[in-house]
């Protein structure tokens, strides 16, 4: 059963196209993470938060990634990382065209 990981954290910027340019190498690295199916990057400049929604093949890979990513963000000086794991209900998600 696949697992969705939702992560958000305080983020001072950059935003939009500048964020895309600054985070390209990180995105390429994340694309290689074991068990990762996809990631949607999120940003909210008004609330000064960023994060992502990830789909992993299973709970173990999602949990391992959350722990590693939290440590990585902490090493960048970012505290307050919040992560939540959810198991995917495939039959209902397929009805509503979920990309699972």
pLDDT tens sequence across 17-36: 999 999 999 999 999 999 99
Residue 14: Cβ within 10 Å count: 14
Q: Please give the pLDDT value at position 96.
A: 97
| Dist CA 78 CA 9 (whole Å) | 7
Whether 1 has a pLDDT exceeding 90, the answer reads no
Count Cα neighbours of 19 within 13 Å in the Cβ-side half-sphere.
15
Do 81 and 7 meet the contact criterion of CB atoms below 8 Å apart?
yes
- The CATH topology of domain 3-95 is Alpha-Beta Plaits (3.30.70)
Please state, for a pLDDT cut of 90, what percent of the chain lies above it. 97
Span 38-47, average pLDDT:
98
How far is 80 from 75, CA to CA, in rounded Å? Answer: 12
* Predicted pLDDT of residue 70: 97
- Is omega for the bond preceding 14 within 30 degrees of 0, making it cis? yes
């Amino acid at each position: 059963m696949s697992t969705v990981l939702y992560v958000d954290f305080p983020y001072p910027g950059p935003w939009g196209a500048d964020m895309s340019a600054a985070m390209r190498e990180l995105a390429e690295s994340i694309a290689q993470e074991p068990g990762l199916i996809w990631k949607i990057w999120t940003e909210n400049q008004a609330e000064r938060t960023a994060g992502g929604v990830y789909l992993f093949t299973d709970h173990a890979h999602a949990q391992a990634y959350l722990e590693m990513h939290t440590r990585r963000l902490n090493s960048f000086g970012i505290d307050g990382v919040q992560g939540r794991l959810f198991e995917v209900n495939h039959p209902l998600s397929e009805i509503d065209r979920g990309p699972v």
